[in-house]
Structure 1
């Protein structure tokens, strides 16, 4: 679901999944100092950001915050994006269920920073899901070494989903 909720079809701001970011600069090396672990105190702001997703999962978010899995990107002390990794069932690695960066903070490298943190933390392959029309997100994922491994017909109310994998 990761790619499915961040940026929807055609780079639409209401996309979701590994949240599909509406583009990113992707040029940063090393850890992004704007990225930190999500905290329970961030829950209300992250719930607001979930409104940009195609298929948000509030219960999964609550769990991710409780176990310390969520990562956030911050501007002036305010959460402006988040990534929610979850253990991949019956497989090694992690699945990026939700990724969102607020529209006013896109193309600043924030989605890249969140993705790089998740990749660095992963013990094995990283997967995510994206809408095939979300060109900006797909370009970002490609720049970080993700490859399309599956197409899921009718995964979204408005069409198919692509499953991408790195590692």
Structure 2
């Protein structure tokens, strides 16, 4: 499944995908789409990285999932990963995470926060070498978060 940088023309599809998240951040997604160019690059001071898992050949295709990360000071934080319910269990989240990690320079620390009861997300990150580094009390509206991290 092709993974490509997001495009401004993806905005509607990305917003629709974001509605499947338990605790989305529409302002973060809007800022990322608005600050990216057609190549998906986000300028210095922008939000970070926005990649999509696309259906089709990667040119005129509709996003079936996305990964949104905040990049700063040589570190990355995966803020949102979502795949359309009908396209789950196809390896799309894994492909997105792999692509994101490959773009990071060696030595980059990458973190992600996950709800303790989100077994699917925890399995994804553990399969990619992330380890639990801590816990944040009341991080989500629904409760605590586990902080996973790894160094690329």
Which interval holds the TM-score relative to the shorter structure?
Answer: 0.7 to 0.9
Structure 1 equivalent of residue 50 of structure 2: 70
For the residue of structure 2 that corresponds to 1:133, the secondary structure is coil
**Post-superposition shift, 1:63?**
2.2
TM-score, normalised via structure 1 length: 0.75
For the residue of structure 1 that corresponds to 2:148, the secondary structure is strand
Distance 1:63 1:157 in 2: 22
Ranked by relative contact order (alpha carbons within 8 Å, sequence separation 6 or more), the top structure is 1
Return the structure number with greater strand share: 2
Unaligned runs of 5+ in 1: 1-32
CA RMSD of aligned residues (A): 1.3
TM-score, normalised via structure 2 length: 0.82
For the residue of structure 2 that corresponds to 1:162, the secondary structure is strand
Distance 1:133 1:93 in 2: 26
Unaligned runs of 5+ in 2: 41-48
1:113-145 CA distances to partner (integer Å, 9 max, x unpaired)?
000011011231111111000111111111100
Structure 1 equivalent of residue 44 of structure 2: none
Are 2:139 and 1:155 aligned? yes
4+ residue segments displaced more than 4 Å: none
For the residue of structure 2 that corresponds to 1:127, the secondary structure is strand
